[in-house]
Amino acid sequence: MPDHRRDAELARGLADEAGRLLLDVREQGLTGRELAADGDARSHEHLLGRLQQERPGDAVLSEEGEDDAARLSSERVWIVDPLDGTREFAEAGRTDWAVHVALWQRDELVAGAVALPARGVTFGTDVPARRPTGLPAPIRLAVSRSRPPAFVGALAERIGAELVPMGSAGVKATAVLDDAADAYVHAGGQYEWDSAAPVAVCRSSGLWTSRLDGSALRYNRRDPLLPDLLVCRPEIAELLLTELRAYLPEVD
């Protein structure tokens, strides 16, 4: 069994470094789209440079980089989102944005970290967080504040759940770990870099992670589109998957 401890430690270190850089970028006077673009670009360049330094033989798939088909034949691929929650990063005072760093190897996510720099918190597979347990009542569903799934209101009414809107896939997924939500339901468009690190982190803590139909999440595919996601406490996975069946025809 490969020992991915050093990879997990590296993922955390890189996410923290990029997070500090982004906090500095936020203090340099830019606003709006200029701020978001500068943050995205500088965080990407930092992560790419550090990965070339630390793991020169590995491939990289980044939201901000040109996709290189060579990654499809690589044994190890780092999947990164240098700034997840760009809209929230550009809004003064918001803390719901993140840095994602994950490592895929031989069909599995083997290491990952999600840094929430504005909150001073990083979740990583090197030290898995202890997850909340038990049956929540009511269930709190983390959903996108800007692009919630069309069916999520009906789902919430059907199971008596509360909606908790927030930005960033990483923030929403780790909200299940820090007990700010009990599940994260997403449909309507995401890519591998949006979910790889959050899924690695949440899975390492024992949370349920899958597509909305219950099938496995697959990474490092030719088309990185991975449009829907369920992260939740395992105690409510069966309930949610059963209820979600009614809405699967609406999921693209």
Q: pLDDT tens for residues 8-29? A: 999 999 999 999 999 999 999 9
Res 188: pLDDT: 85
Do residues 207 and 112 lie in contact, with contact meaning Cβ atoms separated by under 8 Å? no
Give the Å distances, CA to CA, from 52 to 59, 103, 187. Answer: 9, 14, 33
Alpha helices (runs of H) in the chain, residue ranges in sequence order: 5-26, 32-54, 86-89, 152-159, 169-177, 192-204, 237-244
Sort 37 into a burial class: Cβ within 10 Å, 0-12 / 13-18 / 19+. Answer: middle
Q: Is the pLDDT of residue 1 over 60?
A: no
Residues ≥6 apart with Cβ < 8 Å to 230: 183, 184, 185, 186, 208, 209, 210, 211, 212, 214, 237, 240, 241, 244
Mean pLDDT (the chain, rounded): 95
Identify the DSSP state of 190.
Answer: -
Look at the pTM and tell me if it is higher than 0.85.
yes
Residue 68: pLDDT over 90: yes
DSSP string, 55-72: -TTSEEEETTS---GGGG
The dihedral over CA atoms of 205, 211, 214, 219, expressed in degrees to the nearest 10, equals -70
Cα atoms in the Cβ-side hemisphere of radius 13 Å centred on 81: 27
CA-to-CA distance for 144 and 165, rounded, in angstroms? 5
**CA pair distance 123, 118, nearest whole angstrom:** 13
pLDDT band at 249 (very low <50, low <70, confident <90, very high): confident
Rounded to whole angstroms, the Cα distance separating 172 from 4 reads: 25
- Percent of the chain at pLDDT > 70 equals 98
The pLDDT tens digits for 135-186 are 999 999 999 998 889 899 999 999 999 999 999 999 999 999 999 999 999 9
H/E segment holding residue 178: none
DSSP H helix total and E strand total for the chain: 7, 10
For position 252, what pLDDT does the model report?
Answer: 60
For residue 196 the two structure tokens come to 């790889």
